[in-house]
Amino acid sequence: MGVKSFDDIMNYLLPDIIQSGCPDPAVCAEVCPPDADLLAGIIESASPAGTIESQVLGHVMGVAAGLMAERGEALVVRQAQDYVGYQMSTEGAMICIEGDAGDFLGAFMSAGTILCQGSCRDFAFRGACGGTGLVVGDAGDCCAEELSGEAMARIMGSVGRSAGRRMHGGHLRIEGDAGEFFCRYMEGGTARVRDVELMGETYGGTITARRILQFEKGPGGTHLAKILIQERA
């Protein structure tokens, strides 16, 4: 199979995508050549158009990171892309983004590590059930939405609306502040943050914050998580 470019990968995957409606990470792994340096070059030169191609490129990044982990190296990504590390599942794999990242950073990952040295946009680590994600800057809306298992997401800056929404497990740590509806519908896991603009309704888990400025439906609303406030607003 003479795969030398991202277009080659898409051409091989197209029949399966047409049949299933979405890219299959296992099929993508079968198509990718077992050459970490070749895959890194393909990733560097790729210009995905639309959601499907961005998801495929995210799968390719996971494959390349797994191959590089075998020789003790990380995959370095230099372009801001959506779906970096999408559904990454290889223990020990690591992706290092030298600048900013787009939407769905590390979405649905189950293993490995993703380090973003800049900021990222919306839905970072959405649905992650394992692995570790670290963003040095800020994250957009819906960060760590539906986090579960032993996934760990850490944001060194602040986050937008709905961070930690529907968390079932895992660990979310935000060194800065959170916007509205923080941890809304949370059922499990732990979340730590500095100041919260508006705490959403919760059904479980543990939340530690310096200050919570408002509660959804007021302090008498549905707030069943263990909430530890270090400083009253």
Lookup result for tokens 């937008």:
160
Higher pLDDT, 26 or 232: 26
Q: Write 203-211 long-range contacts (CB < 8 A, 24+).
A: 205/167, 207/182, 207/183
Contacts of 36 (CB under 8 A, 6+ apart): 64, 67, 68, 70, 71, 73, 75
Q: Shortest CA distance to 144 belongs to which of 213, 62, 114, 4?
A: 114
Calpha distance 33→224 (Å, rounded) = 49
Contacts of 142 (CB under 8 A, 6+ apart): 122, 123, 126, 160, 161, 162, 163, 165
pLDDT category, 1, cuts 50, 70, 90?
low
Task: Give the chain's mean pLDDT.
Answer: 95
Residue 90 has pLDDT above 60, yes or no: yes
Q: Any idea where the domains of the chain sit in the sequence?
A: 119-233
Q: What are phi and psi of 188, to 5 degrees?
A: -170, 175
Residue 118 has pLDDT above 80, yes or no: yes
How much is the pLDDT for 203?
97
Each residue of 93-114: pLDDT tens digit? 999 999 999 999 999 999 999 9
How much is the pLDDT for 21?
87
How much is the pLDDT for 2?
78
Each residue of 29-44: pLDDT tens digit? 999 999 999 999 999 9
Residue 233 has pLDDT above 50, yes or no: no
Total count of residues recorded for the chain: 233
- pTM for the model stands at 0.94
Each residue of 189-209: pLDDT tens digit? 999 999 999 999 999 999 999
